[in-house]
Amino acid sequence: MRIITSGLAFSTHFLLTQAAPLLANNFGRPAQNATFDYVIVGGGTGGLAIAYRLAEANHSVAVIETGGFYEVENGNISVLVLKGKDFIMDEARCLVAENAMNYNRPTIGSLQAWSDSVNDSSYLWDNFLPYYQTSIKYTNPDQTFREMNASVPLITSENGTGPLQVSFPHWATPIASWAKQGLAEIGVGELHDLINGDLTGAQFSPLTLNPRDQTRSSSQTSFLDTAMRRRMTNLKVYTHTLAKQVLFDQNKTAVGVLVESGPSPEPFILSAKKEVILSAGAFQSPQLLMVSGIGPAKELQKFNISVVADRPGVGQDMWDHVVLSVGQQVNVETYGSLMNPAAAVKAKNDYLSPNHTGILTNDQSDFLGWEKLPSNSRSTFTNSTITDLATFPSDWPEIEYEISSAPFGTSSFSTPENVIDVGYIQPVLLTPLSRGDITLASADMSDAPLINPNWLTHPTDQQAAIAAFKRARQFFNTSAIAPILIGEELLPGQQDLPFDSADEEILSYLQANIGFNRHASCTCKMGKRDDGMAVVDSRAKVIGVKRLRVVDASAFPFLPPGHPQATIYALAEKIAGDILAGR
């Protein structure tokens, strides 16, 4: 089964993305060698943020991006088999990166754990918080356009003036207001917000969204477009350009990147006088390190790659957030309504109106809940599972609940004929112990790496997934949500998975119908320099070589709770500050 985003989602994201006019003098000239202070591989979330900060300080910067601007240019990356099915994992290849719009920060305790794991107090909550805040301009929701039962508590502590816009849509998913009561009935109470270090409870999620015109705010529309408007011609972007290899001198110092571009690829070199920075994501950053000679020596030798630095952790220790889904037909409006041509036209007109209102302002998953599983859900846990979960900080939630109008990930579910509106609760495992890995298929960056996510292979993950799935079914059985339900459960449904199914049957179903949040991370993990599996140190410098850093989710020491977008931006801001301070 392929993981494919629907045409409907594509059209929605098109409406939600709006870029400034592009200036020709911000583009690098292909097939010509050039020299810059910094060469950055990857024009996504972290790459464009750090590029902007370095260029703002009057350094010359090149950004290498395999894709183009925000459009459907996704390359499919690797094939794996899970419970007899084929999946295709993908990362966006464009100047935006593959992330959703939810903007959440992790917990105070998880950043304490980050600080401890890398022996660097700059990652403590109080010290790292300014890096979250400096990227964004936070705007409280305009309740004029939202229903009264979709109000959001005001936040007055966010005073950042960064280019990234964070706010709320003018239209709240109707099922969310009912879900708030349903979650409360099963013990997940209301949370004030999702950005102040506490993730225990439920609330509407802020999005990377421009409140003025309700368009998506991305690394391109914020950092890159700001650079273009400011005529920062010292920042050059090389689109449709593939990074083939990081180049080193005899002292193991990164001196540039070999790239190729064009329909008949022609190699050329972008040299770096100061540093090379990889921000190509959890799949391509480790792949590029390995083809450049940094990684497990045995893996490199399989492809006759000369070893520059033997770092066994490259491509290992991959974390991800797996997603489960339970769905029922509802009598409130969801994205399914857009299948009706008249409703779709109305939605378009609402969105294009002067106030930019209606369903198309929303990314369809704007209400989130978080919890540690309650005692009655843990009654069947083994002692080892209880011990494993206790290793996470006390404020680290075990499960996230995403309230949505579309199933995520790899489910083969199709909405029955004559059913329009379906609501979903989607539990997400936040304490995964199953670890994936990235290995090479060849020594050529043109060939996708091999990805083995290993989802739900650890016994603790299996028990947590079963418990979370039962909680999702419990949610749809609450009296609070009952008034909007129509008929019986659709996904998975009694026929496919009866309510009295044994845990073994539930696990088998979940393993065959798993989804994922595209939160792959930690494949170039951060750690102490004496940690043999660490790839980068706390300043994101690759251990064993000079003038090379990795700044993206692959550099996380672990995947903290919450959606990682905010933390990638914060990490980029921090490392940019380190570089400019000479650290």
Q: From the annotation, which residues make up the binding site for FAD?
A: 564-565
63 vs 76: CA distance, rounded Å: 22
Helix or strand (DSSP H, E) at 342: helix 341-352
Terminal Cα-to-Cα distance of the chain (whole angstroms): 46
H-type helices in 76-196, by residue range? 108-118, 125-135, 174-185
- Residue whose C-alpha is closest to residue 43's, from 209, 242, 206, 215: 242
Residue 473 to residue 491: CA distance in whole angstroms: 10
Tell me the residue type at 546: K
Secondary structure, 3-state, 177-204: HHHHHHHHHCCCCECCCCCCCCCCEEEE
The contacts of residue 505 (CB under 8 Å, 6+ apart) are 497
Burial class (CB in 10 A: 0-12, 13-18, 19+), 488: exposed
- With 0-12 CB in 10 A as exposed, 13-18 as middle and 19+ as buried, what is 258? middle
- 3 state SS of 171: coil
Contacts of 96 (CB under 8 A, 6+ apart): 17, 44, 69, 70, 218, 219, 220
Measured distance CA(78)–CA(89) in Å, rounded: 6
Partnered with residue 439 across adjacent β-strands are: 450
CB 334 within 8 A of CB 340: no
Q: Which of 549, 559, 574, 548 is nearest to 523 (CA)?
A: 559
* Residues 412, 295 contacting (CB under 8 angstroms): no
Is residue 83 within 8 Å of 511, Cβ to Cβ? yes
Beta carbons of 41 and 289 less than 8 angstroms apart: no
Catalytic residue among 13, 59, 321, 563: 563
Q: Is 563 annotated as catalytic?
A: yes
- Residue 424, token pair as written in the block: 């979903």
Bridge partners (DSSP) listed for residue 190:
202
| Helices first, then strands: H and E counts in the chain | 13, 23
CA distance 561 to 399: 9
Furthest C-alpha separation in the chain: 71
Active site residues: 519, 563
